[in-house]
Structure 1
């Protein structure tokens, strides 16, 4: 009985299997053939950028978007039918439709009329293989008239604009059809009619939002659009990394430098389609992740204040009669111990191409991509090189006197100082002291009315020493396109003297910041960097996520010099700002934050945007500083190229520098008050008012005389 039951069950099973394979087998085979699994990748928002205090700098603005995915086996006619249906639901800008697009579209809509454009003789030549398909098509295009194209209606053009987007994508890759100004009504209507729109989908897209407008925009960089996709010259590299051709990527500066951090992991969706391309079912394979976030070293509150200061002082200086060529200014603030860039500001006055009016534009990238003669700001490096080579010893005195060299104009400081030592030379910015130092360095001997003979290899000695401070070499900042500056090509003795006072080789504002940081921190050249941390994204908020990587300070080299030498130059810099007739005392002596630094003025030549005035003699202004002197926490470089023509002009470098350091320390005090309720605002307000009063006095009192004298002397030509 048991055997019979088992036999009966197996018999039923065999009969059922036979029915499935023989009777319904072909039906199931057709069902299997009619479906296809297609996995597509959808882009995700890029990572955000924050400032050092957690303020959002670069964000993503969500956009309603309509996409099209070209599935396998879909022909042009079906795509055109879908485009026509979609055109009835949404508006589409037709301004990018070209004449060639219209001709192709007209031929698709009017195949008989297009065929009639070819003569019987030409068709016979085609049959005889004397003309090919491409030649026939070219003849048809050529013979389409304006009247033919005028027959296309507004709806036709809208269909064409949509169809053009369909064809600009790649197979199995979602292509944005519309992601700007998609109305809620359009989004809802398309979503409700997806069954009749093969390949069409609705989704959420994004666009980059730079929260602070143009502030620091040239450093933050740009991202390609969904239309442009991957840059042509780098497409193979990105495709090998799993990108799609229409993916958006960073195309410049931070957006490009940190592309691998910011781009995120795409969401993957598996669509089951039939042979007509209609989606039968959809399955989410992976949700995808937004790109990781960057926390920058920049303080955006300080950055915006510094940019405002630059603008104010530049416009004020432009009201002077001899500042017509001044069109830019730069400020870099840096932590001298860690290399963190606190502010990287650059402004350029340029004419708006649309309005024709002059306006202030962001030019932060000029802080490390452009270089200038910076003048006496480099004299700290000259003195230290003199110590190292044995040309001078700490405390050595030299006679500051006019130098009368054969066949050369008289060379002198802005004022004759008599016997002075090294620190006094820095305090009053003596050119003669630097020249006599480098003459000794080059094995020369100065004698009135005699020719000067110097060892040409001294150029290499001085430049290699300057390189150790960061002058004349790339600083190593984590941004592309940094210039190492410009090295003068000739090696005449007079040019070596120019090199010693910053009037031959050219340096970037960022190099000046690294140079003064090296002196401020005791001789360590620290690599500057813009990124402080890389963090995981918090998907639903602007809060900072967990730290993935923290960028550590990197020392590039240490000066091969005695600590007491560096301290001696530091003291000379303090004297420049705080003691007696130091060249910057009129602007900084009243500062409560104990600053030190060096001013610079260089006679240079204009080579800006107005090519008709190239070669015009101009004065470049610079300023390097650190504070507090006894415990430096900030280093600053200010460069104002082509500040004025003639021997005197507005001291824009000092005016900017004082206001910038005031802003830094005021902001620091305000933050301390905000985090410590025990402190009161009275002291801060009183100190701020005192600084403003002192600054007002500076602009109108003895500092103007000091700066005028300094500029008159420092800019003596040394050719």
Structure 2
């Protein structure tokens, strides 16, 4: 779901441009490790541009982007090396959108998410995990971080502090407001330093996630929702955690399914984040998209 932030970082750091965002769709082959690829079969695409990579949710595109971004040295099947600041570069970019840090929401107990290890027990950089981080399958983010991230993309680049309480006041016995003791004002935490053309690449990709025509698009079932939705799906692979047997070597694989989006696609008024943890891999898309559909439709019925 956070691939929009990865593409944004690639654009803002000059790895790709709005007029030249094509990357080879070649899987990553690391020594002693399974092939690192996308969901679709190897060879489906020879190359992809950024909007199409978002539409089909290409893991390969994000990894190829990260290799260039962190100045990695890579020879398929035999060698990969990255500078020690590889994780820092990617995480600093994600943090601009609120991912991996506290948002400041007015609720007690907010956490910053879960950050994976950067080094193994021998002090070696976990280079394969840098690639996993690039497409969203390493660090873990909270739902409020996800909706802050997608709202930042929706509103043009302003990361706003989220809040639940707008004001606290006092009324008289007749129910008339007599005083305001606390009033929340919108607070901009950061302005993303992208250009209009760079942002348009991400908006185009997220529109095509829902409205595109590629057979491997991930949220086309939302294309008839009114008003129009743009967004991004997410499918993170993980394992069921059994509290009674935390070291279970046969823990079943499950999916953390996510959808982030905004509506209308032009001049958005609403941003949503939907997260379903621990799903059967065969059911990863149905719940998130159905809930997102009903959230958007119900909101605009109530707010004509």
Asked if these proteins are the same fold (TM beyond 0.5), I'd say yes
Distance 2:181 2:299 in 1: 29
- Contact 1:523 / 1:559 at 8 angstroms: preserved in 2? yes
Bigger Rg, which one: 1
- Contact 2:256 / 2:284 at 8 angstroms: preserved in 1? no
- Contact 2:257 / 2:284 at 8 angstroms: preserved in 1? no
Q: SS of 1:519's equivalent?
A: helix
- Contact 1:400 / 1:413 at 8 angstroms: preserved in 2? no
Q: SS of 2:233's equivalent?
A: strand
Query: 1:565-580 maps to which residues of 2 (within 5 A)?
Result: 565-580=198-213
Match of 2:3 among 376, 379, 385: 379
- 1:626 maps to which residue? 262
- 2:90 maps to which residue? 462
Q: SS of 2:78's equivalent?
A: coil
Count of aligned residue pairs for this structure pair = 289
- 2:122 maps to which residue? none
- 1:651 maps to which residue? 286
Distance 2:23 2:184 in 1: 46
Q: Aligned pair 1:403/2:28, yes or no? A: yes
- 1:593 maps to which residue? 227
Q: Aligned pair 1:661/2:296, yes or no? A: yes
- 1:426 maps to which residue? 54
Q: Aligned pair 1:487/2:115, yes or no? A: yes
Query: 1:81-160 maps to which residues of 2 (within 5 A)?
Result: none
TM-fit CA distance, 1:650: 5.6
TM-fit CA distance, 1:407: 1.9
Of 450-459 and 402-411, more deviation after overlay is shown by 402-411
- Contact 1:456 / 1:493 at 8 angstroms: preserved in 2? no
TM-score w.r.t. structure 2 length? 0.89
- Contact 2:207 / 2:230 at 8 angstroms: preserved in 1? yes
Distance 2:22 2:244 in 1: 45
- Contact 2:235 / 2:284 at 8 angstroms: preserved in 1? no
**Residues 219-252 of structure 1: CA distance to partner in whole angstroms, max 9, x if unpaired?**
xxxxxxxxxxxxxxxxxxxxxxxxxxxxxxxxxx
- Contact 1:442 / 1:456 at 8 angstroms: preserved in 2? no
- 2:194 maps to which residue? 561
TM-fit CA distance, 1:386: 1.1
- 2:161 maps to which residue? 527
Query: 1:189-588 maps to which residues of 2 (within 5 A)?
Result: 377-394=1-18, 395-415=20-40, 416-490=44-118, 491-538=125-172, 540-581=173-214, 582-586=217-221, 588=222
TM-score w.r.t. structure 1 length? 0.39
Distance 2:146 2:178 in 1: 35
Q: Structure 2: which 5+ residue stretches go unaligned? A: 119-124
Ranked by relative contact order (alpha carbons within 8 Å, sequence separation 6 or more), the top structure is 2
Distance 1:504 1:493 in 2: 12
Distance 2:301 2:74 in 1: 49
Q: SS of 2:238's equivalent?
A: strand
TM-fit CA distance, 1:602: 0.4
Residues 531/614 of structure 1: CA separation in 2 closer, same or farther (3 Å cut): farther
TM-fit CA distance, 1:511: 0.3
Q: SS of 2:37's equivalent?
A: coil
Residues 463/632 of structure 1: CA separation in 2 closer, same or farther (3 Å cut): same
- Contact 1:391 / 1:438 at 8 angstroms: preserved in 2? no
TM-fit CA distance, 1:471: 0.2
Distance 1:431 1:417 in 2: 12
- 1:642 maps to which residue? 278
Distance 1:623 1:579 in 2: 16
- 1:203 maps to which residue? none
TM-fit CA distance, 1:390: 2.3
Q: SS of 1:598's equivalent?
A: strand
Distance 2:294 2:38 in 1: 28
**Residues 659-682 of structure 1: CA distance to partner in whole angstroms, max 9, x if unpaired?**
11111112223xxxxxxxxxxxxx
Distance 1:427 1:501 in 2: 14
TM-fit CA distance, 1:557: 1.0
Q: Structure 1: which 5+ residue stretches go unaligned? A: 1-376, 670-719
Residues 614/563 of structure 1: CA separation in 2 closer, same or farther (3 Å cut): farther
TM-fit CA distance, 1:567: 2.2
Residues 525/614 of structure 1: CA separation in 2 closer, same or farther (3 Å cut): farther
- Contact 1:391 / 1:440 at 8 angstroms: preserved in 2? yes
Distance 1:408 1:647 in 2: 25
Q: SS of 2:204's equivalent?
A: helix
Residues 613/651 of structure 1: CA separation in 2 closer, same or farther (3 Å cut): farther
Distance 2:303 2:247 in 1: 43
